[in-house]
Structure 1
């Protein structure tokens, strides 16, 4: 949960780097919360507005952590636009998110795995 809160707190940080663990833990907790909201909506008979509010709440943090993850692999945040290409774009982004980050400092900062990055 601390990784999730770390991403939420840094929701407008588009300039640093994010480890794989930070990205994937955020994604896991985000998916579990979304699933919980979906189940609550189904049981309560609500027609999706609660999930819509949550999606709006996590849109910017999700976008920012994806860009920081791309920075960790040595790519510009503009690579996120490749996800607009159906199927192929999603596969490319998935591969990028799974790749190990650069072990040295790059133009977006120090390796966050070894103490670099933000709080």
Structure 2
């Protein structure tokens, strides 16, 4: 007979994990399960270059969602700036160049924390952080990143915590 985990079991385990984290010496090394957007994004920027510890799925996905929203807003902004310039203006237009440069600066600013949150997410799934290198595979990399993001937590992932 196979054991099947239910949402109620997961929720109860999250409550137990939260109690353990609250009692720990270094709670910032432990993930925040069922993090709100504010908690997830605050942790994303607060742990800018922290590659030890773990990150919950919600912490990972709130950071991923922020990056996707910024990417789409920048893309729409570039298209709007280009279309407003008219058909005879040279491309790229000054407006689209400014938006592109701002987006590039944002992308560079969140590169390290994005890799760090993925490494911590892999730790929560009891995998080495070096698995993040698979996300660099052309075309398949983003799909691999999504798969890493949906992996369930594993109790043995606690081995990556400090303290």
Structure possessing the higher relative contact order (Cα contacts under 8 Å, 6 or more residues apart): 1
Alpha-carbon offset, residue 22 of structure 1: 0.5
Does 2:91 align with 1:46? no
In the TM superposition, residue 31 of structure 1 has moved relative to its aligned partner by: 1.2
Deviation digits for residues 71-118 of structure 1, max 9, x if unmatched?
A: 0000111111122333445434322221111135521129xxxxxxxx
For structure 2, the residue ranges without an aligned partner over 5 or more in a row are 1-36, 82-94
Distance 1:55 1:88 in 2: 20
Count of residue pairs brought into register by the alignment: 110
Task: Say what the alpha-carbon RMSD is for the aligned residues.
Answer: 2.1
Which among 11, 23, 28 is matched to residue 60 of structure 2?
23
Distance in 1, Cα, partners of 2:144 & 2:69: 24
TM score, norm. by length of structure 1: 0.78
Structure 1: gaps (5+ residues): 111-119
- What CA distance in whole angstroms lies between the structure 1 residues aligned with 2:79 and 2:140? 32
Look at both structures and tell me which one has the larger radius of gyration over its CA atoms: 2
CA distance in 2, matches of 1:92, 1:36: 24
Task: Give the alignment partner of residue 150 of structure 2, picking from 88, 98, 109.
Answer: 98
| Corresponding position of 1:69 | 121
Give CA deviations for 1:13-47 in whole Å, capped at 9, x if unaligned.
10010000110111112211222233334334222
Report which stretch shifted further, 54-63 or 3-12.
3-12
Q: Matches of 2:130 and 2:109 in 1, distance apart?
A: 22
* Conserved 8 A contact 1:13-1:64: yes
Q: TM-score, normalised to structure 2's length?
A: 0.59
Residues 38 and 51 in structure 1, CA contact (< 8 A), matched pair in contact too? no
